Structure 1
Amino acid sequence: MLKKIPTAQVRTGMFIHALDGPWLAHPFWKTKFVLEEPADLAALQGSKVPAVWIDVSKGHDLEAEAELHAPPEPAASAAEELPPSREASTRSTGRVTSAAEMSRAAALVNRSRQQVMTLFGEARLGKAVDAEQCLPLVEDVANSVARNPSALISLARLKTKDDYTYMHSVAVCALMVALARQLGLDEAKTREAGLAGLLHDVGKMMMPLGVLNKPGQLTDDEFNLMRSHPVRGYEALKEGGAVPESALDVCLHHHEKMDGTGYPHKLAGEQISLLARMGAVCDVYDAITSTRPYKAAWDPAGSVQRMAQWQGHFDPAVFQAFVKCVGIYPLGTLVKLQSGRLAVVVDQHPSNLVAPTVKVFFSTKSQLPIPVELLDLTRGSDRIVGREQPADWGFKNIDDFWSQQDGR
């Protein structure tokens, strides 16, 4: 049975079914859960949520408040009786290997593709974007990133030319969440960053398809038209009235540069908000590492290296934090080891950017394939001595080494 009570009367042990008020005022990613932690209770009561709906069939009722301090019974708690669900707290989502996360991330990629196509299709038809309906997807992305940032970010990079615009938004959402956490932003701001990433390119839905998907170089007029997409997106989101200011700002200013040479307003330095500076890095990285109608993808590690050389483009502190998110050698990078073997990066080490986990598969000495071996470079004496280009070796299936892992 559902019951609405003031937030001040909420106690631990209650099952929160829904929260009143705008979703950006909520202190949680989840919306249905057993309130177990005192810290979560304090966050809820310190928020702007005026009231909540509780489900007394799944947790404590007001009348049971006196029992909350009784010794726990040996029987399972309400939280233990609930089946695992997408509303589970991100705090309980421990880090796993990229291999263990890959299947869940792949399912999320497939599901999010259709959701974003629908969302952007409605925007193309002039319908307002409902930001609150985007929250479940942002939450799913955030949970995947919490378990392992590299899996979803790398899978989303494997988009096709046809679904680039849609999957680019999912990838930037994931990158923004990972970067926000790397920068130490709180969960509310992280949620806003994810939503901003998801919606940052909605203005491209107002562009003619012939220009948006043109395989060749754009004319000056076409290029100027494409440069209008931040303003067009901002206007469309603003008209809808349900999108937070932070997401509007990222949509409008993710093409600004620190030296003031960006567009549409030539903002410089601190004139650009932190989220927009984050959006600039995330947008460019996914764009240049993806195959697009008019160009082939750059390799991830090479892209990071090139971006580091673009003076005046990115906020240095934000970019340094971004590199810690994706790694100096992101998933899928072909590397040469000191032993003379070639390997593909399949996972990052959280605290050692130059020592990822790799799959060794080829000997440069014998010029022959060797048995595939999983190697944690934080253990043992071998190390990376440089990057290699798969095309130089005739390798066409490099992504299979990391994208088809099954977690075993």
Structure 2
Amino acid sequence: MSFSAQHQNPSANVIRSLLKHKHELSVYAKDMPYALKAEVAGLNVDTGHMVLELEYAGSDIERYLATGGVSFDLEALKGTQTIERETYSLNNVAAKLIKTDSMLYQLECQLPESVFVKESRGAVRIPFILGMQSRVSLEVYLHELNVPGRLRNLSIGGCMVDIDLAESVAISAGQPIPGVMLEFPNGESFFSEGKVRHIRPLGNQGYAAVGIQFINLSTSQTETLFQFVNEAEREAAYRAGTNDKLVNHSLLFIPGVKEKKILQREALEREKRARQPPMERGVMDVAHQLQVGLMYIKSRHLFPHEIFYDCVDTLRYLVEQDRKAFLYALAFLREEPDWVRLAVQVAGLLTDMLLSRDPHNPQVREAVFGALLHTMGKPLLISAELPSLKVNMNPAQKAILRGHVAALRNKLDELGWTPSPTCREVLENANERLDGSGYPTGKSGRQLTELIRLVAVIKAVNKLLHSRNGLPPRSPLDAYRTIHEADTAYDKTILVEYMQAYGLYPIGSLAKFSGGFLAWVVDINGKGMPIQVHIVKNLRFPDTNISSVITENDLSQLGKLEGIVNPSDYGVKMLKI
């Protein structure tokens, strides 16, 4: 270790290493619904002085420094395809706010002189930096729900775990966790009971940070934990280069056979995924922000209407920017939680159909807002009796879930937020049917407006096109036929309008050709026939993935179009970073 490296600021060194890759830095505050994106305008690795530049249109930016310092997440996407994710989080960093223009600010930050952070309870928190990895399993409900994650820091008192945002619906601050399992790369593990201290969004890639306190530790557990914390501290010091006496990795962080196999499998899965184009990223951001909004509702007891209206405006912008690319992007929400996928897809198609009818319709914004929120009561019902929305539910759980409209309405009342008449109409009536067979109140006929009849058809088609409660998805033709044959439950005029808009081979569906090829439908002509597809698999070579876009003139090479198929039947899916 050189003399100069020894005297560089360790935190600045970690940040510098991440800035070499594609990255995003997000400034956050406990009481603010938005994280602000910032750019690193200057970094001195010797002194630890860092300058952030950010844009903010509000008048309360000081609230991001309410504790006297600034907190931020730095996410880097590494690897040949920039999809290996690494994060570094710092909180309450000494900072000075300087306004440089009407909406532009600089934050002059003094980074801590150690990567190790002393907690309020006296323990030292070890950040998992520069590639340090450990897997975590949170047993949220005993024998019912396990949430996987990655360890982001560790101390004698607890840890911070990075989980998929979709899994955060079952976790709230103050919640006991029956089992916290930490598994280190060499195969050693630690188990404890825990309690959630806090939960917040982590960066902008669709993850959440959960702070866990270890509780009810026995003497032997405490001794084991001390050993693991010491080894983590040693590894972090070695990777950060702060101790020239350390010449190799801690044995705890040298991958064993099991971990190597997992890492190889994850690397192969990442390689299968092409980079998301901007439209798909835009749609995915809406899905993530919807879940972030739910987190604020549950953990901070506030209704972040700015987040939700931003989602609504984003959907409209994307539709108007490139309608067909937007419809294609909507399909790639298949791997998101059902309540999120349904909300965003229904809201997206509602935006599309309302704008096609009348681009100046003043109802559009509030109607789409209602559609985005109309499934949010479902995750609010998660409990020990209904531990997950992913499972095939028993009758008792289905009965609980039917109360989701009332659950959302009650939560909005509790938070003191009053929806507009149009928004409330969609929130409360999206599940009603013309024949009175819907819920929650069984409204029928003239009690349901044209808007609700449209939402009902969009929802009905969407549900049939996706697997639910163990039932396989229908083809578009079967879905249309089922709805048409549902007697007077749905408005058949609107069904015809829907069919004319999206056809028998909707953009974003997976088509199968007689030549053995599977391809996403990218574009269709005026008759609803595919004229551009994205080939992803040749069934004669099922273990090989393809990525090739062909247009109308070359479609005959694929053989005859046989129909629309279920992607999961062929192992075709989207992978998350």
Both structures adopt the same fold (TM-score exceeding 0.5): yes
Pick one of 332, 340, 354 that aligns with 2:509.
Answer: 332
For 2:511, the aligned partner's letter is L
Partner of 1:219: 394
Aligned residues: 300
Pick one of 491, 494, 497 that aligns with 1:315.
Answer: 491
Pick one of 272, 276, 283 that aligns with 2:459.
Answer: 283
Specify whether residues 273 and 126 from structure 1 end up closer, same or farther in structure 2 by C-alpha distance, changes over 3 A only: farther
Pick one of 354, 357, 365 that aligns with 1:180.
Answer: 354
Pick one of 295, 309, 328 that aligns with 1:135.
Answer: 309
SS at match of 1:278: helix
For 2:551, the aligned partner's letter is L
CA contact (8 A) 2:291 2:340 kept: yes
Specify whether residues 132 and 216 from structure 1 end up closer, same or farther in structure 2 by C-alpha distance, changes over 3 A only: closer
Partner of 2:375: 201
Please say if 1:148 is aligned against 2:322: yes
RMSD between aligned residues: 4.3
Partner of 1:256: 432
Please say if 1:171 is aligned against 2:348: no
What 5-or-longer segments of structure 1 have no aligned partner? 1-16, 19-56, 58-101, 404-408
For 1:304 and 1:377, the matched residues in 2 are separated by 29
CA contact (8 A) 1:156 1:168 kept: no
Higher share in helix = 1
For 2:353, the aligned partner's letter is L
SS at match of 1:136: helix
CA contact (8 A) 1:333 1:345 kept: yes
Please say if 1:106 is aligned against 2:283: no
Partner of 2:563: 387
* Structure ID, larger Rg: 2
SS at match of 1:357: strand
For 1:373 and 1:250, the matched residues in 2 are separated by 38
SS at match of 1:374: strand
Partner of 2:407: 232
CA contact (8 A) 2:519 2:533 kept: yes
Give the deviation of 1:249 after TM superposition. 1.3
CA contact (8 A) 2:480 2:495 kept: no
SS at match of 1:129: coil
1:43-192 matches, cutoff 5 A? 103-125=277-299, 127-159=301-333, 163-184=337-358, 186-192=360-366
Question: In terms of mean alpha carbon deviation, does 281-290 or 224-233 score higher?
Answer: 281-290
1:256-275 matches, cutoff 5 A? 256-275=432-451
For 2:547 and 2:411, the matched residues in 1 are separated by 54
Higher relative contact order (CA 8 A, sep 6+): 1
Could you state the TM-score of these two structures normalised by the residue count of structure 2?
Answer: 0.44
SS at match of 2:396: helix
Specify whether residues 383 and 271 from structure 1 end up closer, same or farther in structure 2 by C-alpha distance, changes over 3 A only: farther
Percent identity (aligned): 16
For 1:263 and 1:225, the matched residues in 2 are separated by 13
Could you state the TM-score of these two structures normalised by the residue count of structure 1?
Answer: 0.59
What 5-or-longer segments of structure 2 have no aligned partner? 1-56, 59-101, 103-275
SS at match of 2:437: coil
1:3-29 CA-partner distances (Å, limit 9, x unpaired): xxxxxxxxxxxxxx99xxxxxxxxxxx
Give the deviation of 1:125 after TM superposition. 4.6
Specify whether residues 313 and 377 from structure 1 end up closer, same or farther in structure 2 by C-alpha distance, changes over 3 A only: farther
1:71-111 CA-partner distances (Å, limit 9, x unpaired): xxxxxxxxxxxxxxxxxxxxxxxxxxxxxxx7122211332
Higher share in strand = 2
1:257-297 CA-partner distances (Å, limit 9, x unpaired): 11111111211123112222222223333334345675555
1:321-360 matches, cutoff 5 A? 321-330=497-506, 331-336=508-513, 344-349=519-524, 351-358=526-533
Give the deviation of 1:364 after TM superposition. 11
